[in-house]
Amino acid sequence: MAGLYEESFVDELRHGTAGLASHWGLSPRTEVRLLNLSENATFRADDPETGETVILRVHRPDYHEHEEIESELAWIEDLRTHGIVETPKPLEIRQGGHRHIAYFDHGGEHRAVVAFAFMSGREPDPSENLTDGFRTLGAISARLHSHVRGWRRPAGFRRKTWNFDTTVGPRPLWGDWRAALGLTGEGRALLERTCLVLKDRLAAYGEGPERFGLVHADLRLANLLVDGDRLGVIDFDDCGFSWFVYDFAAAISFIEEDPVIPALKEAWIEGYRTVAPLSGGDVAMIPTFVMLRRLLLTAWIASHAETPTAQEMGIPYTEGTCAIAEDYLSRAL
């Protein structure tokens, strides 16, 4: 994926995406412009003829299969139907053989594209007071988790599982943390010890249905939209089966070392408990999930070195991971 963010590459994706605009009823005059590049490429499509704005997501190759994408959208539709969370509506295509997904060929690969209705709002700013927002996010998380406990998933539902093996263990979905940028021998030994503790603690905690199920898995600030008193949630692309409390760890992605984190944790727990129970045992596991997520993101940065996020974080993020691991082990042992 070298050269992923070169202007010519992005323009090829934009052109391919624009060629599918009619699938969602957009006119040939629709202007398509890049919003974000990370795991996927996200474009904003503005149609001057109808005044309609649509968000088009171009999937990265070799990550989700067709059935997995449709499963994500099926969960979103049920969440919207029951008013569980405010999130953009997936748009059905008006032509072609699939319900939501259109494809274009790019360099010999099939690129899946899905569309969502536009949702207003802005990403929360880490420099702002996030406490009230995390209290709301805790309540949202509890509603999501309560919903999936009673939801009868449609036939053929498929999403990835985020457990020890698939995050930092032998079958990592986002790459091996041992390839972390700038990782020293001493750092590797430290993180190996950390993984052993994580493995033991997660095994003891278990994956029973009361604590493990379908989660958003990426409720970080970049996937939240604030508009007045409304907190919207976007980008269910990483949703999958994991521990419910993992959603808090995902929410503090890339800001794990901020001094405000303890206050955000307490706010999230408080908000969660306004909707559903959260036991002391669940709360006690939060540091373990924060450590797991941090190690997973360290692997992601190494395996996605071409992304702006990875380039921004770089070696200092690996060094921070080691510092967090030292503190975690000092409290765990």
| Nearest Cα to Cα of residue 119 among 36, 232, 222 | 232
How far apart (Å, rounded) are the C-alpha atoms in residues 182 and 197? 23
What's the confidence (pLDDT) of residue 304?
86
Structural domains for the chain = 7-117 (3.30.200.20), 131-332 (3.90.1200.10)
What's the confidence (pLDDT) of residue 234?
98
Low-confidence ranges of the chain (pLDDT < 50): 1-3
CB 289 within 8 A of CB 308: no
What's the confidence (pLDDT) of residue 166?
98
| Nearest Cα to Cα of residue 274 among 135, 72, 122 | 135
How far apart (Å, rounded) are the C-alpha atoms in residues 137 and 242? 18
How far apart (Å, rounded) are the C-alpha atoms in residues 70 and 182? 38
Full-model pTM: 0.95
Task: Give the distance, in angstroms, between the CA of residue 270 and the centroid of all CA atoms in the same chain.
Answer: 23
Structure tokens at 203: 């095994």
pLDDT tens for 236-261 read: 999 999 999 999 999 999 999 999 99
What's the confidence (pLDDT) of residue 333?
67
